[in-house]
Amino acid sequence: MAAHYEDRSWTSSDGLNLHYRNYPGPEGGTALPVLCLHGLTRNARDFAGLAEELSQGRRVIVPEMRGRGLSDYAPVSDTYSPATYVEDVEKLLAEQGITRFIAIGTSMGGLMTMLLAQARPGRIAAVVMNDIGPVIDAEGLSRISGYVGQGRSYPTWVHAARGLEAVHAPAFPDYDLDQWLEMAKRTMVVSQNGRITFDYDMAIAEPFAKPGNAAPPNLWLAFEALAGVPMLLVRGELSDLLSPETVKQMGVRNPAMRSITVPRVGHAPTLDEPEVRAAISALLDGIE
């Protein structure tokens, strides 16, 4: 079945051509749109299944951050930072005339969601935070630093799948080859030389390694801008980035938050898990 999205673009304040998938939703629909924000090394394909499902009832926008997917790579690597990504997304929202929306953020996308809320409290009607919170465990950051920007390439999709398995098996211990192949096709592309490579600019690793960039400071202040906002927090049971203690504290600070733990999965759940899809549907059912 053909995908029900349009490839569109917008221009950043520093002149980059940035790509997003636009799922128009039902003709004449008035429901609030959904903004899906991907993780550090990911792209719009991460939300393909979820966006298709949600677009049955509302518009869904899935931007690709600079340096990922079909978006331009930045000439200055220092612009690969959450603050700049938020600035880029703000420009997209302004161009589209979107003043109120639902946010779904995975990992880095969740950090962006908090920063968007802090910049303009009240405009986010509901939130899905996927395996991320205001406190980011050092163990997880260290693990990500160990693979981001490595620039590996593979001769076949099976080799690519096995390469992912070698790095990420602790987070997905029950995955079979088909699931690793699916992950490979979400995160990689066939390059001009015919080899399979990761679909992001390796230079994103440079600012990620700098203090305060991967995890902006004072994120509790940003999180508190979402106080009272209906929220679903998705956590992988094996996550090394989001601790149960942080989940508990998030619930204290936002009593409107519901959390769900995906068993036998680390960072990060795909949001395609049946129990997660059901929870997202329940969250959005009451949001017009």
- How high is the pLDDT of residue 53? 97
What are 239-258's pLDDT values in tens digits?
999 999 999 999 999 999 99
Domains of the chain (ranges plus CATH)? Answer: 6-138+214-285 (3.40.50.1820)
Give the pLDDT band of residue 2 (cuts 50, 70, 90). Answer: low
- How high is the pLDDT of residue 1? 43
Give the pLDDT band of residue 3 (cuts 50, 70, 90). Answer: low
Q: In what order do the strands lie in the sheet with 6-11?
A: 6-11, 17-23, 60-63, 34-37, 101-106, 124-130, 231-236, 257-262
What are 186-237's pLDDT values in tens digits?
999 999 999 999 999 999 999 988 877 777 888 999 999 999 999 999 999 9
What are 46-76's pLDDT values in tens digits?
999 999 999 999 999 999 999 999 999 999 9
State the average pLDDT over residues 261-280. Answer: 98
43 has pLDDT over 90: yes
Give yes or no for a contact between 127 and 236, defined as CB atoms under 8 angstroms apart.
no
CA distance 233 to 117: 16
Please enumerate in sequence order all residues whose Cβ is within 8 A of that of 209, keeping only pairs 6 or more positions apart, or say none: 145
**How far are the Cα atoms of 55, 121, 134, 237, 239 from residue 221, in angstroms, in the given order?**
32, 11, 9, 26, 23
Give yes or no for a contact between 208 and 145, defined as CB atoms under 8 angstroms apart.
yes
